[in-house]
Amino acid sequence: MRLLPSKKVVGEIAVPPDKSISHRALMMCSMSSGVSVVNNLLESEDTLRTFRIIGELGGNFRGGFDRMEISLASWKESLRPLDCGNSGTTARLMAGVLSGKEGFHVLFGDDSLSGRPMERVVSPLKEMGASISARRDSLLPMCITGGKLRGYEHSLSVASAQVKSAILLAGIQAEGTTAVTEPHCSRDHTERLLRSMGAGITVSDKRVEVEKSELLPVRFSIPGDVSSAAFPIALAVLHENGKVTIRNVGLNQGRTGFLRLLMKMGADIEIEVEESLPEPMGTIVTRSSRLIGVEVGSDLIPSMIDELPLIALAGVFAEGTTTVRGAGELRKKESDRISVTVQNFRKIGVEILEHEDGFSVEGPQRITGGKVDSYGDHRIAMLFSIAGLLSSEGVEVTNSNAVGVSFPEFFKTLEEVCQ
């Protein structure tokens, strides 16, 4: 896919449903008594992995992803290995779910996911009583023999919503109290949904406790994915002639760090919260802006982990130096997002410095154009598509179909606002 410079970026767009919440809704509603009704589930490559795995395990679904009735799954033992594809959320959270279910299960993934370490999930689940073995102790395929679990006190060295959620989903099936403490607060979608479903949960600063709980059915609509919205937002802010409105988008504080950082850099962004339960959602309006460079420290990383490569793009157009540090987690995503971001920016004419745990870029600079590789990573494919629209000569993105993981209509959406 070749993205050519756009003269104007104006309009109102819709972004796909939130991927993180969709995964959790499919899993947790399948663990509840009664019938839950969930509107606006994301139907993408990643969420379909979760949907199909639960189906293999006796899932009970009626309707489509626009409106789905979800009943308690039988959680039968699968005769086949369970394919997580490229979805780290599926692999890690399902490990927590299956640790409390009787039977033997095997989780596996594609080449990329099979290279991503699972030790921070495997170790605490073992402490709770699950029998888990994995390739080289921490890589997929992962074999899980679930059963009776006991509550345990966990202290995470790195804030991670996926690791925290895996432990909490095991914890609601365990005898006693399960507690998770993080160095920084990560996104809290799991906690919010557990509370809505009647779980015994206590949240205090960076600590979460859960008791063994029977989950109750819920009815709710999933908001638009603010991580997907970040890309057209960045485009409108950085373009010299841009104004984009996005409605019904999630505004969870644990996910809006990128918006807050852009505003700190000088971005003209209006945010209006219109609903608050179980997830805050509303409207974002963003306009062309002049930015100044900023330094991003480790305390801000959890609230914008998926958007961090976009900070490099913002830094290209900002006055002064923009630096991201404390983001070593980016090397363990679908690609090594630090290395890939730096390599690709250099290919399109941008001077950028790579750090072990981040990057620095001095602005303002001009993006000339060229050819880059997404390495099959949806966030990287979207990042350099936006870069192409802001370039002088255009950017060709190979493996651009990776956007289907989270934003299947990404290129169609860009066409609606780019002139």
> Helices in 188-336 by DSSP H: which ranges?
189-196, 226-238, 257-264, 308-317
Residue with tokens 């490099």: 312
With a CB cutoff of 8 Å and minimum separation 6, the contacts of 35 are 69, 70, 71, 217
Is 377 an annotated catalytic residue?
no
Strand partners, 63: 68
User: Nearest to residue 54, comparing CAs of 3, 107, 121, 113?
Assistant: 107
Calculate the alpha carbon distances from 41 to 6, 37, 203, 295 in Å: 31, 10, 26, 35
**306, 357, 373, 377: the active-site residue:** 306
Query: Residue 244 — φ and ψ, nearest 5°?
Result: -130, 135
Cα torsion through 244, 248, 249, 254, rounded to 10: 140
Q: Both tokens of residue 257?
A: 């760090």
Other CB atoms within a 10 A radius of the CB of residue 50 amount to 27
The answer to whether the Cα torsion of 379, 384, 389, 395 is positive or negative is negative
Question: Please, are residues 249 and 228 in contact by the beta-carbon 8 Å criterion?
Answer: no
d(CA 233, CA 77): 44
- List active site positions: 306
